[in-house]
């Protein structure tokens, strides 16, 4: 087979991690904390290297890198170090009456060898965040960063090679064929972040080895704006959540559902917030240092198609629309007059186009959302507790935020992830630790005492009475 990567090196790394993973089963809290501290120390002493690499990939502004790439990882490490002893300690469970005399507990053992496949949009955070959970859980890991952000991928490789022995953590760089080769290895767990389409490929490959999976996927996350709302507050938060990272955020509001009587006011507010945030000196947003670029020309063309297709089918651009192809620049854009025949209303946008559609009653908005795949995130802007409760209880999404958007990613006491098409399994904090752990069920019976002996054959009158009593009383 003609291949551009070293499969023998991958095999050798996998085999050495397999052996290491067995010895890690009884690793102590202190040993795992030490591995996490090494990662924390490297990150803190190489902040400028990390910023430069990510900036080189798609001009992400430094404050965005600090907050959304570095801080989220360092806070995840800090949180894991603080809580690891409690997460690792066996959890006693109570004994039901038919099991009287026995004791039981849950022991958290590392799943073993793990594979982490990362996307390009938060290329540092989404490769290293899951690694924190893997190390906390006592697993080995091979990390495959995205090939679309080569500077960050090289930096991650350098970082891991400087910190860890390859039998504990290794980085394998490369394109789809490398990912596919890695997927043929019998990992114990695969943690994938990326699109639902590739998520299905990952799950099929994992099924060959019955590896468990965490799939952090995407989709169309709605933001509902009720008429009982502080419009200026909602507009600021939507503009930030949508256009940070140039719209290339899995939990960005994909589209807005606004109550029809406040549509025009909301559009005006969004327009002025875009100018306040990205064009305060009125020089043009393309001059702004605070606005990132689309990752490559392929994605720019994909977004341009969404805009052109919607325009051709009757939609209008209410704000923005400027594209500079040579710079992968795509202006913050708002679209109106949309219909379901337009691709922009069917596909995850993953860029700075914000479609705004209207509803007349909350039920109509809920029905619209429920007709689509379950989103990764759902945002509600409303002063009415009744409205937010109704939406929260009548829709399904991986996560939800009331009166803000995107910020739930930073709350590491909450599970982060999707549901069905937007993901399977959860990440962050304790939930990330659990994703990489086997919750082993352990029951200890007293020698010579087992209530179940009375149910052993040969069955007789007493067995019959006991089994009937069990059905009657429990
Ligand atoms: N839920 C989350 O936390 C989260 C976070 C960020 C991005 N996302 C989602 O990720 C998507 C965008 O990222 P992307 O374009 O990098 O995703 P992608 O699915 O194209 O690629 C992700 C990774 O999978 C690998 N890959 C691609 N095709 C593959 C194949 N056929 N077989 C095996 N591996 C393959 C890539 O090399 C890359 O490392 C969006 O859908 C977004 O919503 C989700």
What gap in Å lies between CA 47 and CA 69, rounded to an integer? 11
The whole model's pTM is what?
0.96
At 451 the pLDDT is: 66
At 448 the pLDDT is: 81
Domain match, 120 and 247 both: no
Within a domain: residue 277? yes
Q: Which atom of ligand 1 is nearest to the CA of 216?
A: 1
Residue 403 pLDDT exceeds 90: yes
At 260 the pLDDT is: 98
Domain match, 227 and 211 both: no
Number of domain units in the chain? 2
Q: What's the whole-number mean pLDDT along residues 225-244?
A: 98
Ligand 1, CB within 6 Å, residue ranges: 117-121, 126, 144, 146-147, 176, 179-180, 193-195, 198, 201, 216-218, 250, 348, 350, 376, 418, 423
Residue 97's pLDDT band (cuts 50, 70, 90): confident
Identify the three-state secondary structure at position 349. coil
pLDDT in tens, 319-330: 999 999 999 999
Q: Which atom of ligand 1 is nearest to the CA of 376?
A: 1
Domain match, 146 and 105 both: yes
Domain match, 276 and 205 both: no
Domain match, 37 and 138 both: yes
CATH number of the structural domain spanning residue 248: 3.40.309.10
Domain match, 250 and 373 both: yes
Domain match, 15 and 123 both: yes
Domain match, 259 and 180 both: no
Residue 276 pLDDT exceeds 90: yes
* 328 Cβ neighbours under 8 A, 6+ residues apart: 58, 293, 294, 295, 296, 297, 299, 300
Q: Are 18 and 142 in contact (CB under 8 A)?
A: no
Residue 406 pLDDT exceeds 80: yes
Nearest residue by C-alpha to atom 28 in ligand 1? 176
Least confident of 412-416, 424-428, 462-466: 462-466
User: Of residues 250, 331, 348, 405, which has the active-site annotation?
Assistant: 250
Residue 231's pLDDT band (cuts 50, 70, 90): very high
At 440 the pLDDT is: 98
Higher pLDDT, 448 or 277: 277
Average of per-residue pLDDT values in the chain: 96
Within a domain: residue 454? no
- Report how far ligand 1's centroid is from the alpha carbon of 419 (Å): 16
pLDDT in tens, 196-219: 999 999 999 999 999 999 999 999
CATH number of the structural domain spanning residue 136: 3.40.605.10
Q: Are 365 and 340 in contact (CB under 8 A)?
A: no
Residue 98's pLDDT band (cuts 50, 70, 90): confident
pLDDT in tens, 335-378: 999 999 999 999 999 999 999 999 999 999 999 999 999 999 99
The residue whose CB lies within 8 Å of the most ligand 1 atoms, and thus the one to mutate among 175, 194, 208, 426, is 194
Q: Which atom of ligand 1 is nearest to the CA of 194?
A: 10
Question: Does 246 qualify as catalytic in the annotation?
Answer: no
Tell me the backbone φ, ψ of residue 328, rounded to 5 degrees. Answer: 50, 35
- Report how far ligand 1's centroid is from the alpha carbon of 379 (Å): 23
Directed axis angle between helix 150-163 and helix 47-58, to 10°?
160
At 7 the pLDDT is: 95
What gap in Å lies between CA 236 and CA 253, rounded to an integer? 13
Q: What's the whole-number mean pLDDT along residues 162-183?
A: 97
Within a domain: residue 443? no
Residue 473 pLDDT exceeds 80: no
At 456 the pLDDT is: 86
Domain match, 73 and 154 both: yes
Within a domain: residue 433? yes
Q: Which atom of ligand 1 is nearest to the CA of 348?
A: 41
Q: What's the whole-number mean pLDDT along residues 253-281?
A: 97
Within a domain: residue 167? yes
pLDDT in tens, 9-20: 999 999 999 999
- Report how far ligand 1's centroid is from the alpha carbon of 249 (Å): 12
User: Of residues 216, 331, 348, 405, which has the active-site annotation?
Assistant: 216
Domain match, 70 and 191 both: yes
- Report how far ligand 1's centroid is from the alpha carbon of 323 (Å): 25
Question: Does 250 qualify as catalytic in the annotation?
Answer: yes
At 452 the pLDDT is: 72
The residue whose CB lies within 8 Å of the most ligand 1 atoms, and thus the one to mutate among 76, 116, 119, 148, is 119
Q: Which atom of ligand 1 is nearest to the CA of 122?
A: 6
At 468 the pLDDT is: 86
At 2 the pLDDT is: 62
Within a domain: residue 457? no
Residue 128 pLDDT exceeds 60: yes
Alpha helical stretches, state H, 313-379: 362-370
At 464 the pLDDT is: 87
Domain match, 231 and 212 both: no
Residue with tokens 């997927």: 183
Within a domain: residue 449? no
Domain match, 228 and 208 both: no
Within a domain: residue 335? yes
At 21 the pLDDT is: 98
User: For residue 81, what are the domain limits?
Assistant: 7-217+425-438
């Amino acid at each position: 087979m003609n291949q551009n990567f070293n499969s023998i090196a991958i095999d050798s790394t996998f085999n050495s991690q397999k052996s290491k993973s067995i010895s890690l089963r009884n690793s102590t809290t202190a040993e795992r904390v030490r591995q996490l501290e090494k990662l924390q120390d490297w990150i803190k002493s190489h902040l400028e290297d990390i910023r430069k690499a990510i900036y080189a990939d798609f001009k992400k502004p430094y404050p965005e890198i600090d907050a959304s790439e570095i801080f989220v990882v360092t806070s995840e490490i800090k949180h894991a170090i603080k809580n690891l002893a409690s997460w690792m300690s066996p959890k006693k469970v109570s004994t039901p009456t038919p099991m009287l005399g026995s004791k039981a507990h849950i022991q958290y053992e590392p799943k073993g060898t793990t594979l982490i496949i990362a996307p390009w949009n938060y290329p540092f955070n989404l490769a290293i965040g899951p690694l924190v959970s893997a190390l906390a859980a006592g697993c080995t890991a091979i990390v495959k960063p995205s090939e679309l952000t080569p500077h960050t991928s090289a930096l991650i490789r350098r970082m891991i090679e400087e910190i860890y022995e390859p039998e504990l953590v290794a980085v394998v760089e490369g394109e789809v064929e490398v990912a596919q080769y890695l997927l043929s290895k019998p990992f114990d767990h695969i943690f994938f972040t990326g699109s639902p389409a590739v998520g299905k490929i990952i799950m099929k490959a994992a099924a060959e080895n019955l590896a468990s999976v965490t799939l952090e996927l995407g989709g169309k996350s709605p933001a509902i704006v009720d008429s009982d709302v502080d419009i200026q507050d909602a507009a600021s938060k939507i503009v930030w959540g949508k256009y940070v990272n140039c719209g290339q955020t899995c939990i960005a509001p994909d589209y807005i559902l606004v109550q029809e009587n406040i549509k025009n006011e909301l559009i005006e507010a969004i327009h002025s917030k875009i100018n306040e945030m990205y064009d305060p000196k009125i020089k043009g947003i393309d001059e702004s240092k605070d606005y990132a670029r689309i990752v490559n020309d392929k994605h720019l063309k994909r977004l341009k198609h969404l805009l052109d297709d919607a325009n051709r089918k009757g939609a209008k651009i209410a704000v923005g629309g400027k594209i500079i192809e040579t710079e992968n620049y795509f202006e913050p854009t708002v679209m109106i007059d949309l219909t379901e025949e337009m691709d922009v209303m069917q596909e995850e946008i993953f860029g700075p186009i914000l479609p705004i559609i209207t509803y007349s009653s909350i039920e109509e908005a809920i029905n619209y959302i429920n007709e689509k795949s379950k989103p990764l995130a759902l945002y509600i802007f409303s002063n009415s507790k009744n409205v937010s409760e109704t939406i929260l209880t009548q829709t399904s999404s991986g996560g939800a935020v009331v009166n803000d958007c995107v910020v739930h990613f930073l709350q590491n006491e909450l599970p982060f992830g999707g549901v069905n098409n937007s993901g399977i399994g959860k990440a962050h904090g304790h939930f990330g630790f659990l994703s990489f752990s086997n919750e082993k069920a352990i029951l200890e019976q007293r020698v010579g005492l087992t209530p179940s002996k009375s149910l052993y054959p040969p069955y007789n009158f007493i067995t019959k009475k006991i089994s009937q009593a069990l059905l009657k009383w429990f």
